[in-house]
Amino acid sequence: MTEFQSALDSVLGTLEQIRTGGGRLPRASRVAIEALSRPPAPTAELVTASPPADRPLTKADRLAPVRARVLVCTRCPHLAASRTQTVFGIGNPDAEVMFIGEAPGADEDRQGEPFVGKAGQLLTKIIKAMGFNREEVYIANVLKCRPDTPGAASGNRPPSLAEMQTCLPYLAEQIEIVQPKVLVALGATAVDGLLGTRGPMRDLRGKWHSYQETPLMITYHPSYLLRNQTPTEKRKVWEDMLLVLERIEHPISEKQRRYFL
Ligand code: URA
């Protein structure tokens, strides 16, 4: 299916929901309305966006229609109305390691890319310390919209259970397509989303779990490390990353083994 067809299906589905939903008025963010007001892209662009029929679909091809559905998603009308844009995921669709966070914050909402704020910069450092570029791994969140904070000028809130349940099918599709060798859940919300488990992070982290047969490492969210910048806490996350590197049989130098000791 082309991206256009998939986006059209999504719009039609939403209109049908509005029609059968007893007259609830549609809500759209300012950015979405501005985007809709712009002249449509030439049809040729949409046609060339779909892969040629004479080669097998790549993972990037398969992610594209999921991204198109997320782009116009209004399953949580309050988030669709408050977001600047959706934040799908970024990185190598063929990645061996996939990091899962909670939800976009203000910076991510503005830039449309996961983990670009302060916590994101720390995650990028961790990825580099592991011996990868950010572009070599895949990064996504449980929620694709920034959780709204009505009445508050700033601040974040964790996603609600209903929001997570609504959004999780998109993440499940991303994981199913990327099929990383290892998943890394960053923090309690990612654990809750992937495993439906809540518990102290100190008990969950540092051991192997499994999400639909993909090995899953649980570690602290980078924002926890920003609040607890002691070598002991940094070392805990680093030990979790060493386990990830061992699992994917990535070379580890002596220097890397000794970080934060
Ligand atoms: N925290 C997250 O969990 N995800 C982001 O994208 C940014 C911050």
Ligand 1 center to 1 CA (angstroms):
30
What residues make up the domain containing 252?
3-257
| Residue from 83, 85, 87, 108 to probe ligand 1 pocket by mutation (most atoms less than 8 Å from CB) | 108
Per-residue CA distances from 20 to 5, 13, 53, 148, 157 (Å): 22, 11, 37, 26, 31
Cβ–ligand 1 contact at 189 (below 6 Å):
no
Instruction: Give CA–CA dist 161/192, Å, rounded.
Output: 9
Return the CATH number at 135.
3.40.470.10
Residues of the chain with pLDDT under 70: 1-49
pLDDT, tens only, 50-59: 778 888 999 9
Instruction: Give CA–CA dist 81/75, Å, rounded.
Output: 11
Q: Atom 7 in ligand 1: which residue has the minimum CA distance?
A: 115
- pLDDT on residue 46: 41
Q: How many domains does the chain have?
A: 1
pLDDT, tens only, 17-26: 665 565 555 5
Give me 18's structure tokens: 């509005």
Please state the pTM of the whole predicted model.
0.83
